[in-house]
Amino acid sequence: MKIRTRYAPSPTGRMHVGNLRTALYEYLIARHEDGEFILRIEDTDQERFVEGALDIIYRTMEKTGLDYDEGPDKPGDCGPYVQSERVTAGIYMEYAKVLVEKGEAYYCFCDKERLDSLKTTVSGKEIMLYDKHCLHLSKEEVQANLDAGKPFVIRQNIPNEGTTTFVDDIYGAITVENKELDDMILIKSDGYPTYNFANVVDDHLMGITHVVRGNEYLSSTPKYIRLYDAFGWEAPVFVHLPLITDEEHHKLSKRSGHSSFEDLTEQGFLPEAVINYVALLGWSPEGNEEIFSKQQLIEAFDYRRVNKSPAVFDMVKLRWMNGEYIKSMDQARYEEYAVPYVLSAFPKAGNTRQQVVTSDGAVLSGGSLDKILDLMKTRIEVFPDIPEKIDFFDRLPDYDPEMYTHKKMKTNPENSLETLKETLPILEAQEDYSLDALHDVIMEYIGRKGVKNGVVLWPLRTAVSGKQSTPGGAFEIMEILGKEETLRRIRIGIEKLS
C-alpha cells in the first residue's frame, strides 16, 4: 500500500520548529517510500485564527522545499483540504451522528455552571472528568432539547471499564485504563469539530497511513483508537516524535527567540541548514555524515531510527551547520545573500555593488568588494555576522598605539614606527596594489632587513586596519583599500607613534 502522510497545521502564527520537524519527517517518510504527502489546514478554532497565518504556512512549505501532492492550493481526490470548508460541507456532523446512532457518542446539554461544578483542584491544577450526565438522557429528551434550540456538544462515549492499547512505532505498546479517559467533545457548541475528532475523520477519509505528530499527543491517542474502533475503521500507523526543548529543557517557546522558522531566517539562517539541523533532532542516520541535502535526507530517512528522548535545540550547532552551508554555497547565491550585508557596512549614500565610497572617503571598486566577499565566506556562520567584521574598511577606528605591541611578533611602538617609516616610501613608489605585487615588494624589504615576517606585517596590518584582529592579513587589506587609502592610514599610524 502506498504511504500517505499529511502535515496538518493550525493557522495560528509562525511555524514552530517542532511543527516544522514534524512536517519534515512526514514529508521524508512519504518521499522515502515514494508515497504521498498532503497538506491539510486545521482551522477549527475560530478564536485562535490569525490573519496571514495561512500565507506563512504556504511560504514556509515553499522555502523549505516541502512540496505536497495535495492541499488547499493543490486539489486532489480528498478535498476540501481546509477543515472549515469541510465543516460547511457537513462532514463532521454527519460522522458524529453516525457515532450517536451507534451509541458511541451522545448529545450533551450541560451548561458551563454544571461543568464548572465538576471541576476539582488537585495540587494547584484544575482537573475535570465529565460524569456522563447527559448519556442517560432519553431519545425524547434529547429531541426536545434539540427542538428547543438548546446549545449542545457531542461527546465520545468511553466505557469506564477495561483498557485500551495501541502500538506506536517509536514508543511501542501503550495501554491505559479506560476510566482515565474523559468523554471528550467531538463537536463543539459552535458546530465545529474539535481537533481530535476532525483529525480522525479526515485522516481516515484522506487515506492517511502514517500519523506523525509530537509526543504531546501520545497520551490522548487511546481516545483516537477508540474512535477508529467505534467507526469500525482501521487505525493508521502512529509515529510519535520526541519533544524539542530549549536550553533549559522546556518546550521551545516564543520567549527563546528562535522558536519559529521565520525567527531563524530573520537571524540569517538558510532554509536548507535549518532543515538539515532539525532533521537531526530526534533522528540519526546510519553513518557519521551530518550534512544532508533534502534529496539525501529522502534517501537516508528511516523513521524507525527516530529516538524517544527529548532533544535540546542547540543554536551553536545550528550556527556551525549554517557556516558549513555558506562555505559550500555556489558563488552567485552566496553573493545574493552576502552583498547586502557587505554594503550595509558602508553606510554612505549611493553605494552600490560596483563601487562604494567609504566614510573615510576612499573609493573601493567592485573588485574590492569581491575580495571582501571572498574573505567573508569562511569566516561567518550567518550573514549578519558580516558588518562588524569589516567595519574597519569603511572607517579607520581610533585605535590605541599600544596595539602595536605584540609579544610574539616582537613588536613595540618603537620598531613599529621604524617599520612604517621605512615601508611608507616603498608603498608610495609602488603602483601595482595587487596582492602578489604587494607581497613581493614587502617581502623583499623583509628579506633585506633580515627580520621575521611578523615584525613588519603586524604593524602594517595594525596601521591599515586599526584592529587587533581582521579577516585577512596586511596584504589583503591593502589590496582592498587601494594605494591612496593605504598610504593615508600608514601616515596616521606614523603620526600616532611619533
Partner RNA sequence: GGCUCGUUGGUCAAGUGGUCAAGACGCCGCCCUCUCAAGGCGGAAUCACGAGUUCAAUUCUCGUACGAGCUGCCA
E strands in 8-147: 36-39, 105-108, 120-122, 125-127
Least distance (Å) from RNA to the CB of residue 153? 5
CA distances from 73 to 77, 195, 477 (A): 13, 22, 52
Identify the helix (H) or strand (E) that includes residue 238: strand 237-241
**From the DSSP assignment, how many helices (H) and strands (E) are in the chain?**
19, 15
Q: Indicate the residue among 8 and 420 with the shorter CB distance to RNA.
A: 8
CA dist., res. 482 & res. 49, Å (int): 57
The three three-digit cell numbers of residue 422, written as one number:
621605512
First and final C-alpha spacing in the chain: 83
Q: CB-hemisphere CA count at 13 Å for 169?
A: 18
CA dist., res. 225 & res. 233, Å (int): 9
| 255: region left, alpha or beta (phi > 0 left; psi from -120 to 50 alpha) | alpha
CA distances from 19 to 15, 71, 193, 241, 259 (A): 7, 17, 22, 10, 10
Pairing outcome for strands 185-187 and 163-168 = unpaired
Q: What is the per-residue DSSP string for 355-423?
A: EEE-TTS-EEEHHHHHHHHHHHHTT-SSGGGHHHHHHHHHS-----GGGG-BTTTTB-HHHHHHHHHHH
Inter-residue long-range contacts of 145-151, CB under 8 Å, 24+ positions, other chains counted? 145/107, 145/109, 146/107, 150/109, 151/109, 151/189
Q: Which candidate in 74, 102, 254, 348 is catalytic?
A: 254
Q: Is 237 helix (H, G, I), strand (E, B) or coil?
A: strand
CA distances from 121 to 116, 179, 202, 219 (A): 11, 19, 35, 21
Least distance (Å) from RNA to the CB of residue 297? 14
Report the DSSP beta bridge partners of residue 154. 107, 187
Known catalytic residue at 132:
no
Identify whether the C-beta of residue 459 lies closer than 8 Å to the C-beta of residue 404.
yes
CA dist., res. 257 & res. 264, Å (int): 9
CA dist., res. 88 & res. 292, Å (int): 43
Q: Could you give the residue numbers annotated as active site?
A: 254
